[in-house]
Chains A and B, each alone.
Chain A
Amino acid sequence: MYLFLIIVSFISVFPLYWMVSAATNKSAEVISGRLIPGTYFLENWKNLMAAQNVGRAFGNSFKYAIILTIVSLLVSSLAGYGFEIFHDKGKDILMSIILLAMMVPFVATMIPLFQMFSKAGWLNTTIGFILPTISTPFLIMMFRQSARSFPHDIMEAARIDGLSEIRIFFQMFIPTMRSTYAAAMTITFMNAWNSYLWPKVIMTDSLSQTMPMVVANLTEGYVTDYGMLMLAVLICTLPTAVVFFCLQNAFAEGITGAVK
């Protein structure tokens, strides 16, 4: 049993270790199978900065992902809260219609969205990047599920004290549901940072390109500089890895809430 776990863990971690070690070695050393970290990191860094505008792409990705996460959490949690706390027949029916949107694959909406957005002048803009995924059925469902455990008597007491509905939401619901928000944040930020198809469609200008797009660009051409390439992959992985490590436990907790 331990042997099995050790093998699976090794397979899980090894490619990532290889990525880090390759980022610090010369391409020729990577090809010759060197597995220990080297001293070529700075050279790889210089080559990478000369090859692609990584700084701008990183900044773009960061901007898009942060704005999307904030707006999406706000809109989706408001909706999930509204669906659960004030639920009636009409809202329950609407919720099941919204859940159907989960079945709509992105490729089926991609072309009309591209047409709509190019007409509206939203190509190469932040709003173009974030608009299709601000509100997702998955997040609404998750917040609706967690609102179920929000104590009603506290809410009644707050109402009697004269607190407005919107203040109950901001001052009581959000602080209570921290772990749900953390899980939703992890999911949304990672999806935004990783998204590739949609930015590839609407970011037609190289100035608006995202980090994954730039990394993919590096593989074009005949000779691959593995050291430089793996450094780019490493940089592209860092933000999601940081988010993952900070919010790992909250993510598991939030999933538990959603699965119940």
Chain B
Amino acid sequence: MSKQKKMTLSKKQNLTGWVFLLPGALLIFIMSFVPMFRALLLSFKSGVGAKMAWSGISNYVRMFQDTVFVQSVKNTFFYLIIQVPVMLILALILASILNNKDLKFKGLFRTMIFLPCATSLVAYAIIFRSLFANNGLINLLLVNLGILDQPYAFLTHTTSARIVIIIALLWRWTGYNMVFYLSGLQNIEYSVYEAAKIDGASAVQSFFKITVPLLKPTILLTAIMSTNGTLQLFDESVNLTNGGPANTSITMSHYIYDMSFKYVPNFGYAAAMSFLILVLVAVLAFLQMKVGDKRD
């Protein structure tokens, strides 16, 4: 009798659980998985508006012949390969310095380094665009110091435009990742570091032998998040360099946006390109998790 009552109680609780999570789960299916599936279907069609027709894999073939798209993939990977490792290493170094118990003004330094995260993406892109403009502060400084004879057009030369994007990204996101590492470091007993010091380990040694291995899950998390974010880079490309000069700093998301909403809309082709990003995100996340596991 009492057992039966218990059964119904756990059934009731089970049902309550489903009611609690249903709205959230349903929204993710309708707003993420369903559109993703429709984008896949769309990527095999071409045409405009209601006159879409099946076109097989022609969109995917076109992608690899489209020089601007190939350029946008190269640019995005350029940002990814240079910016993400530099940022994560810098964030790790800053976090382990700030974790030092004897450091003075710790809170002040942490706040100042984290401060760039308080700016909106469009806002910081415009700040950097103004600083690096022909008549901007950086040029003024370089000319006055005698390093340059005349202002250099940072944003209209390919290499420097890309470097400015990387500098801006580093500025905006290093502090953000640092906070993740600082939080991770809270879980490491500080006495471990003190013991290592007594045993004669240098700061560099304890960084590589204690900090890096113990923070591995957090490093993996930030690496996946940053990779994901960089592959979807949009605001900076639009507002800092506007993809220029001549599309040599454009990102994949920026080109997909232009293809969908700026030029004559070509949803099928844009969907095919967006699917490539999805595959890239999935493959890179999978690889990072594999590498993360192996080091155990």
Residues of A within 8 A of B (CB): 1, 4-5, 8-9, 11-13, 15-16, 18-19, 22, 31-33, 75-76, 78-83, 85-88, 91, 94, 98, 101-116, 131-137, 140, 165, 169, 190, 193-194, 196-197, 200-201, 211-213, 215-216, 219, 224, 226, 229-230, 233, 236-237, 240-241, 244-245, 248, 251-252, 255-256, 259-260
If A103-B282, A105-B281, A226-B130 touch, does A82 touch B39 (CB 8 Å cutoff)?
no
CB neighbours (8 Å) of B103 from chain A are 1
Tell me the complex Cα distance, A260–B257, Å: 37
> Once the chains bind, are A109 and B39 in contact (CB under 8 Å)?
yes
If A15-B171, A111-B274, A196-B122 touch, does A169 touch B20 (CB 8 Å cutoff)?
yes
Tell me the complex Cα distance, A232–B20, Å: 42
If A4-B97, A91-B17 touch, does A111 touch B36 (CB 8 Å cutoff)?
no
CB neighbours (8 Å) of A88 from chain B are 14, 17
- Tell me, rounded to whole Å, the shortest Cβ–Cβ distance linking A60 to chain B: 14
Interface-side segment among B111-119, B156-164, B193-201: B111-119
- Tell me, rounded to whole Å, the shortest Cβ–Cβ distance linking A98 to chain B: 5
* Chain B contacts with A in 17-65, Cβ cutoff 8 A: 17-25, 27-28, 31-36, 38-39, 42
> Once the chains bind, are B234 and A237 in contact (CB under 8 Å)?
no
CB neighbours (8 Å) of B183 from chain A are 252, 255-256, 259
> Once the chains bind, are B228 and A259 in contact (CB under 8 Å)?
no
Tell me the complex Cα distance, A103–B286, Å: 10
CB neighbours (8 Å) of A94 from chain B are 21, 25
> Once the chains bind, are B18 and A135 in contact (CB under 8 Å)?
no
> Once the chains bind, are B126 and A12 in contact (CB under 8 Å)?
no
If A98-B28, A135-B28, A216-B239 touch, does A16 touch B17 (CB 8 Å cutoff)?
no
CB-contact partner of B234 in A4, A8, A83, A196, under 8 A: A196
**Smallest CB gap from A34: residue in B:** B137
5 shortest interchain CB distances as A-B pairs: A86-B17, A79-B24, A82-B20, A82-B21, A109-B35
Tell me the complex Cα distance, A260–B137, Å: 43
Q: A82-B18, A110-B35, A131-B31 are in contact. List 20 more A-B contacts (CB 8 A).
A: A5-B97, A9-B109, A75-B23, A76-B24, A101-B28, A103-B278, A104-B278, A107-B252, A108-B277, A112-B36, A115-B267, A131-B27, A134-B31, A194-B122, A196-B122, A196-B235, A219-B239, A224-B130, A233-B127, A259-B183
Interface status of B180 (Cβ within 8 A of chain A): yes
Tell me the complex Cα distance, A109–B260, Å: 12
> Once the chains bind, are A78 and B24 in contact (CB under 8 Å)?
yes
Tell me the complex Cα distance, A17–B218, Å: 32
**B: number of interface residues (CB 8 Å):** 90
> Once the chains bind, are B130 and A86 in contact (CB under 8 Å)?
no
Tell me the complex Cα distance, A175–B18, Å: 22
If A18-B137, A31-B135, A230-B130 touch, does A104 touch B32 (CB 8 Å cutoff)?
yes
CB-contact partner of A98 in B25, B97, B256, under 8 A: B25
> Once the chains bind, are A216 and B175 in contact (CB under 8 Å)?
no
Interface status of B120 (Cβ within 8 A of chain A): yes
CB neighbours (8 Å) of A83 from chain B are 17, 21
| Most A-side CB within 10 Å, residue of B113, B133, B270 | B113
20 contacts between A and B (CB under 8 A): A5-B109, A18-B127, A18-B137, A33-B140, A78-B23, A81-B20, A82-B22, A86-B17, A104-B278, A107-B253, A108-B39, A111-B267, A112-B38, A114-B260, A212-B120, A224-B133, A245-B118, A255-B180, A255-B183, A259-B217
Query: Interface on chain A toward B: helix, strand, loop, or mixed SS?
Result: helix
Tell me the complex Cα distance, A145–B38, Å: 32
Interface status of B73 (Cβ within 8 A of chain A): no
CB neighbours (8 Å) of A137 from chain B are 28
> Once the chains bind, are B113 and A79 in contact (CB under 8 Å)?
no
CB neighbours (8 Å) of B17 from chain A are 82-83, 85-88, 91
0/1 interface trace, chain B 256-275, chain A, CB 8 Å (1 if under)? 11001100000100110011
CB-contact partner of A252 in B28, B182, B253, B281, under 8 A: B182
> Once the chains bind, are A108 and B112 in contact (CB under 8 Å)?
no
If A109-B31, A135-B31, A237-B119 touch, does A78 touch B180 (CB 8 Å cutoff)?
no
CB-contact partner of A108 in B16, B36, B123, B128, under 8 A: B36
